Chain A
């Protein structure tokens, strides 16, 4: 219990410091762009791949249920709603969390155990500003964008199955989607990913900063990060969903 509280306290403290140093000039845009490239652009392939397949399997499963009730025509709506509100944000966050969160921890953790973090401080620079802020900004910016791309590709994946397997009219598929998806649906889906982005970056960075015990420690830390990020995304997903439902 005590270690959990210490951990939450430490991670929150890091987030506060990151926000403080993030707002305080000077801003190093070059570092942020570099991180967006690493965190966002290079995650595109994996995220797109799982998004298409998630959309396809969703269409298959939904069709199975809907045909029982003779409501096959709603397939587009159900697929799109699931993707926008839930599957898109969570799958993308977990995928990016595994790929990027572990990468952040490994990078910062190795820097910690080889005294590079100390070197940054001795040379008069601030490790939070140099390392944490760019990663935090980049993740919070990139994750919502990745999610939007993933949702669109997921809907296209669903279309593929709907047309080829279930003989649904593609025009009808899109039309029902556009008619029934509201701005609130999009907002509640994409809105969650800002928080997921925070979780990924803060846990990734904090776990890196507290890494101890050489290269073995880096391995241990990386594992902890992936597990923690996945758990935290799923738990916070429930509360965020509930919160957004209360708000609108």
Chain B
């Protein structure tokens, strides 16, 4: 843990509170994300993991607290002031969130056109390169409706990395995918980490994927981060919430395997 604190944090969350539909979801979340690391935020459904990601991107505003990105508090920023920060972020949405009316290639080109003034040829080149990174060369002209669930996620991932972000946010990247695609997405997260040297935050309830892709994990439970630590620290933790979550997930995982 000490070694992590030596590095500068790219994201620092302090005393974050957020209620949703009259329910106090986040109750003082504290989290430091170091530059270049991959961290997974674990937690059961409805604990506010995805909400936390939405707060980091500025899609939602907290009731109270601070979110520093590269040292700058984004909480009080207006929508257009968030632009420079969003240029450095890519997000993979749970349901891929590809634009149905645009082809796969146009989807990947969307953030590039939004942030840079490049010629069509240059954009095409970037799009081809990003699609190649996720293993989907030559599908530029296909429409999202023609793609399988796993392919959609990969196109969405290509779109998320299109503007070479410093931070990639993954919202439940493996949810709803079959085992083969789950492995593929896990593999891609690790690969992209190596190739792009980005900071990644993965939100998931799938502890197997979490173990596979990251070395640091954080458990969100009843509105706070109860533990941050490495895989080993998680497995050997004596904390009741962590033991419960790990046990529960392992049992659920075993059931799913047996099915």
Report A's interface with B, CB cutoff 8 A.
Answer: 110-111, 114-116, 118-119, 121-126
Contact = CB atoms under 8 A, between A and B. Distances in A.
Nearest to A34: B101
Given A121-B59, A123-B86, A115 B114 contact: no
B111 A115 contact: no
Contacts of A118: 54, 59, 93, 97
Nearest to B111: A123
A118 B54 CA distance: 9
A59 B185 CA distance: 67
Interface string B102-118: 00000000110011000
Contacts of B59: 118, 121-122
A118 B87 CA distance: 15
Contacts of A116: 97-100
B79 interface: yes
Contacts of A110: 100
Nearest to B84: A124
B89 interface: yes
Contacts of B159: 123
Interface residues of B, number: 22
Given A116-B98, A123-B110, 13 more contacts: A111-B100, A115-B93, A116-B97, A116-B99, A119-B99, A121-B58, A121-B79, A122-B59, A122-B91, A123-B86, A123-B111, A125-B114, A126-B79
Contacts of B91: 119, 122
A115 B50 CA distance: 12
Contacts, number: 46
Contact of A115 (B58, B79, B95): B95
- Which of B57, B114, B115 has most chain A Cβ within 10 Å? B114
B47 interface: no
Nearest to A107: B101
Nearest to A125: B114
Interface string B62-99: 00000000000000000100010011010101110111
Contact of B115 (A114, A119, A124, A126): A124
Nearest to A117: B97
B23 to A, nearest CB: 15
Nearest to A110: B100
A118 B156 CA distance: 13
Contacts of B86: 121-124
Contacts of B115: 123-124
- Which of A119, A121, A125 has most chain B Cβ within 10 Å? A119
Contact of B57 (A114, A122, A126): A122
A106 B65 CA distance: 36
B93 A124 contact: no
14 contacts: A111-B99, A111-B100, A115-B94, A115-B95, A118-B97, A119-B91, A122-B59, A122-B89, A123-B86, A123-B114, A123-B159, A124-B86, A124-B115, A126-B79
Top 3 A-B pairs, shortest CB-CB distance:
A123-B111, A115-B97, A119-B97
Contact of A124 (B94, B95, B114): B114
